[in-house]
């Protein structure tokens, strides 16, 4: 059975790229463009991994990560944070919020897939 990955990304091109790459690698994907819908989508989809943009309209990705970690049904879902705004201290704040790993944009496919596979417990193919 394919591992399930929730992709929370407001940028249409990034969301499509992430989803296309993940699907091409055999994952089942649930794209979410609006961070405010992410928690309900995660509860319904029951992902094995969440890929979370940090810069979202209406709600911060950091707040979403913290909310997922407080939710008993989602607390164990590893989160891969991705952000274009990687300033000093950002990685620490993102990891403190509960993200298991972190990539800065623009994201290259190989490190992206290595991080995904590491977090869902799959060996690279």
Q: Could you tell me the residue range of the domain that residue 60 belongs to?
A: 4-120
- Torsion (CA) 61, 66, 70, 76 in degrees, nearest 10: 80
Would residue 64 count as lying in a domain? yes
Tally of domains in the chain: 1
For residue range 25-76, list pLDDT tens digits in order.
999 999 999 999 999 999 999 999 999 999 998 899 999 999 999 999 999 9
For residue range 92-120, list pLDDT tens digits in order.
999 999 999 999 999 999 999 999 999 99
103: helix, strand or coil: strand
Phi-psi region of 98 (alpha: psi -120 to 50; beta: other; left: phi over 0): left
The model carries a pTM of 0.94
Would residue 125 count as lying in a domain? no
Would residue 81 count as lying in a domain? yes
């Amino acid at each position: 059975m394919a591992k399930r990955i929730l992709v929370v990304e407001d940028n249409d091109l990034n969301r499509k790229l992430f989803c296309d790459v993940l699907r091409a690698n055999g994952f089942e994907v649930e794209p979410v463009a609006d961070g405010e819908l992410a928690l309900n989508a995660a509860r319904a989809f029951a992902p094995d991994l969440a890929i979370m943009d940090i810069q979202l309209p209406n709600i911060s990705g950091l707040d979403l990560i913290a909310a997922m970690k407080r939710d008993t049904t989602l607390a164990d879902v590893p989160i891969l944070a991705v952000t274009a705004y990687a300033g000093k201290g950002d990685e620490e704040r993102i990891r403190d919020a509960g993200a298991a790993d972190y990539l800065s944009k623009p994201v290259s496919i190989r490190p992206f897939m290595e991080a995904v596979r590491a977090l869902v417990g799959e060996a690279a193919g």
